[in-house]
Amino acid sequence: MESVLKDFPFRCTLSLRPLIDFWEQRMAASSPASACMVAGISSRLAAAPELWRPIEDMRVVESHRDLIQGLLTAAFPPALWDTEPYVALVPFCMEPVVASPAFRRLLMNHDGSIRGRTTVEEQTVLRGRIARAYLRILEKFYGVAAHFDYPVIRVVPDPETGLDLYFRIRSNLSFVDVQAMGELKPLTEDEKALILGHLTEPEVLGEILPPELFEFQGLALVHALDVTESEVLSALERDLIDQDSFFSQTGFLRLQQRLRTLFRRPDLLVGLAALHEDQVLLLNTGCQICGSCFFSDSRHVPMTEFQGSVYHRAVREGGIVRIPDLREETSRTKVEEGLLQDGVRSMLVAPLTYQGRPIGTLDLSSPRPGDLGPVDALLMGQILPLFSMALRRALEEVEHQVQTVIKEKCTAIHPAVEWRFRKAAFRFLDCVRRGVTEELEPIVFREVYPLYAVADIRGSSEERNRAIQADLSEHLNLALAVVERAADARPQPILQELAYRISKALNRIQTGMVTGDELSVVAAIRKEVEPLFPHLSGFGPRVAEAIEAYKTAVDPQMGSVYRSRKEFEESVSILTHRISTYVDREDSEAQAIFPHYFEKHRTDGLDYLIYVGQSLVEQGGFNVVYLENFRLWQLMVACGIAWHTERLKPSLKVPLEITNLVLFHQAPISIRFRYEEKRFDVDGAYDVRHEILKARLDKATVKATGERLTQPGRVAVVYSHLEEAREARRHIDYLQAQGYLREDLESLELEDLPGVQGLRALRVGINLDSPALAMRAERMMG
pLDDT digits (tens, 9 = 90+) for 61-99: 888 888 888 888 888 988 899 899 999 999 998 899 999
Q: Specify the pLDDT at position 307.
A: 82
Q: Specify the pLDDT at position 429.
A: 74
Does pTM surpass 0.85?
Answer: no
As a whole number of angstroms, the distance between CA 505 and CA 335 comes to: 87
Are 188 and 251 contained in the same domain? no
Tally the C-alpha atoms within 13 A of residue 699's C-alpha that lie toward its C-beta: 8
- Residue pair 694/452 in contact by the 8 Å Cβ criterion: yes
CA dihedral 103, 106, 110, 111 (to 10 degrees): -50
Name residues whose C-beta falls within 8 Å of residue 536's C-beta, 6 or more positions apart in sequence: 482, 486, 543, 547
Kind and range of the H or E run holding 134: helix 122-142
Please report whether residue 153 resides in a domain. yes
Are 342 and 239 contained in the same domain? yes
Are 611 and 514 contained in the same domain? no
Are 620 and 709 contained in the same domain? yes
Are 38 and 69 contained in the same domain? yes
Please report whether residue 72 resides in a domain. yes
Are 174 and 242 contained in the same domain? no
Q: Specify the pLDDT at position 293.
A: 39
As a whole number of angstroms, the distance between CA 403 and CA 416 comes to: 15
Alpha helix positions (H), 271-363: 310-317, 334-341
Band of pLDDT at residue 27, cut at 50, 70 and 90: low
Give the mean pLDDT of 614-643: 91
Domain's final residue, options 527, 562, 597: 562
User: What burial letters (b/e) apply to 187-213, b meaning 16+ CB within 10 Å?
Assistant: beeeebebbeebbeebeebeeebebeb
Please report whether residue 434 resides in a domain. no
Please report whether residue 398 resides in a domain. no
Are 546 and 581 contained in the same domain? no
Reported as a single tens digit per residue, the pLDDT across 232-277 is: 998 888 888 876 677 677 788 888 999 999 999 999 999 888 887 6
Give the mean pLDDT of 555-583: 92
Please report whether residue 2 resides in a domain. no
Are 262 and 207 contained in the same domain? no
Are 698 and 759 contained in the same domain? yes
Domain count, the chain: 4
Reported as a single tens digit per residue, the pLDDT across 206-217 is: 888 999 999 999
Give the mean pLDDT of 697-723: 91
Please report whether residue 507 resides in a domain. yes
As a whole number of angstroms, the distance between CA 286 and CA 268 comes to: 9
- Residue pair 1/202 in contact by the 8 Å Cβ criterion: yes
Please report whether residue 755 resides in a domain. yes
Task: Tell me the range of 37-46, 568-577, 612-621 where mean pLDDT is highest.
Answer: 568-577
Q: How would you classify the pairing of strands 554-555 and 560-561?
A: antiparallel
Domain's final residue, options 562, 594, 628: 562
Residues forming a β-bridge with 249: none
Please report whether residue 450 resides in a domain. no
Give the mean pLDDT of 159-175: 91
Name residues whose C-beta falls within 8 Å of residue 335's C-beta, 6 or more positions apart in sequence: 305, 306, 309, 310, 311
Q: Specify the pLDDT at position 291.
A: 36
* 414-418, 581-585, 627-631: least confident range: 414-418
How confident is the prediction for the chain on average, in pLDDT? 86
Per the structure, the complete domain to which residue 722 belongs is given by 567-780
Give the mean pLDDT of 284-293: 40
Read off the CATH number of the domain in which 288 is found.
3.30.450.40
* 296-310, 549-563, 631-645: least confident range: 296-310
Are 154 and 238 contained in the same domain? no
For 173, the 3-state DSSP assignment is coil
Are 101 and 69 contained in the same domain? yes
Domain's final residue, options 172, 192, 226: 226
Give the mean pLDDT of 696-701: 84
Name residues whose C-beta falls within 8 Å of residue 541's C-beta, 6 or more positions apart in sequence: none
Are 558 and 573 contained in the same domain? no
